């Protein structure tokens, strides 16, 4: 996912425009946006490097906030800083903990994007591996049904098909995190915030989160004739691990 950063230009564009460009366009626009490492891992690496150097300043707070946004939980951050204390120095860890307590004062970052994650999707739990959460956005008695579905890391639904004699199918609007969509006998498609997936009727498929990321999408039920969802076999752990 491409990261848009403006901090360099906001602070230094008049004084050092080239430094500002390198910060915003190269460091964040290219390095941080490379797909080889998830954003959560990049945040952990950056936090570790800054603590090791004793750079507990405004930029460190920014990276703590980014780590929280990228899915590093309060419990994970506490464990990371405790581990670092033995390698980077006790005073550095103390300073980092003081700032981390402020950043995580309101708990972990919420999931579900701008619509929120809703409640645990217990009604369809038998058709998911891992926990999912559902927040209905519209009333199906009044209009097209739309719901925000949030998957914890590693969660995915079973293979399934949206049957219809005419019309039907589903549209996914990705709103947070990283996930996967796959149609039967086709390669899996990696999904990011802003992606749109059009699922035709009568096509066997599955979708869910990546192993290391929460994922949310709005599911839009396309109107049709004699529509129904047929739930099929699980996506095997071996199959999923290859992604």
Identify the CATH number of the domain defined by range 7-103. 1.20.1290.10
* Integer Cα distance of 145 and 221 in angstroms: 6
Between 238 and 230, whose confidence is greater? 230
Q: Which of 106-110, 144-148, 197-201, 210-214 has the lowest mean pLDDT?
A: 106-110
Residue 3 is predicted with a pLDDT of 61
Q: Which CATH superfamily is domain 113-241 in?
A: Jelly Rolls (2.60.120.10)
Q: Per-domain residue ranges for the chain?
A: 7-103, 113-241
Q: How far is CA 97 from CA 65, 108, 203, in A?
A: 13, 15, 50
- Is there a common fold for 7-103 and 113-241? no
35 vs 214, residue with greater confidence: 214
Q: What is the pTM of this model?
A: 0.61
* pLDDT above 80 (res 112): yes
Higher pLDDT, 162 or 75: 162
pLDDT band at 194 (very low <50, low <70, confident <90, very high): very high
67-81, 127-141, 208-222: lowest mean pLDDT where?
67-81
Over 90: is that where the pLDDT of 64 sits? yes
pLDDT at 81: 97
Mean pLDDT (whole number) for 182-200: 96
* CB 86, CB 48: distance < 8 Å: no
Please count the CA atoms within 13 angstroms of the CA of 156 that sit on its side-chain side. Answer: 30
User: What is the pLDDT at residue 106?
Assistant: 78
d(Cα 39, Cα 32) in Å, to the nearest integer? 7
What percent of the chain stands above pLDDT 90? Answer: 73
């Amino acid at each position: 996912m491409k990261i848009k950063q403006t901090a360099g230009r906001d602070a230094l564009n008049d004084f050092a425009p080239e430094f500002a460009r390198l910060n915003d366009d190269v460091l964040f626009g290219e390095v941080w946006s490379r797909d080889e490492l998830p954003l959560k891992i990049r945040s952990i690496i950056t936090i570790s490097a800054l603590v090791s150097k004793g750079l507990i300043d405004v930029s460190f707070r920014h990276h703590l906030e980014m780590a929280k946004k990228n899915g590093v939980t309060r419990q994970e951050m506490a464990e990371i800083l405790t581990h670092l204390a033995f390698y980077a120095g006790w005073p550095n860890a103390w300073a980092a903990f003081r700032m981390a307590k402020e950043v995580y004062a309101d708990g972990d970052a919420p999931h579900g994007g701008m619509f929120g994650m809703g409640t645990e999707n217990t009604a369809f739990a038998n058709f998911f591996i891992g926990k999912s959460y559902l927040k209905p956005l519209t009333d199906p008695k009044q209009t097209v049904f739309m719901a925000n579905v949030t998957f914890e890391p590693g969660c995915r639904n079973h293979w399934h098909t949206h049957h219809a004699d005419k019309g039907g199918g589903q549209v996914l609007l990705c709103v947070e995190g990283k996930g996967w969509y796959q149609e039967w006998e086709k390669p899996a498609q990696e999904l990011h915030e802003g992606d749109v997936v059009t699922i035709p009727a009568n096509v066997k498929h599955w979708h869910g989160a990546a192993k290391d990321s929460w994922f949310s999408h709005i599911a839009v039920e396309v109107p049709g004739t004699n529509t129904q969802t047929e739930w099929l076999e699980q996506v095997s752990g071996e199959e999923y691990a290859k992604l």
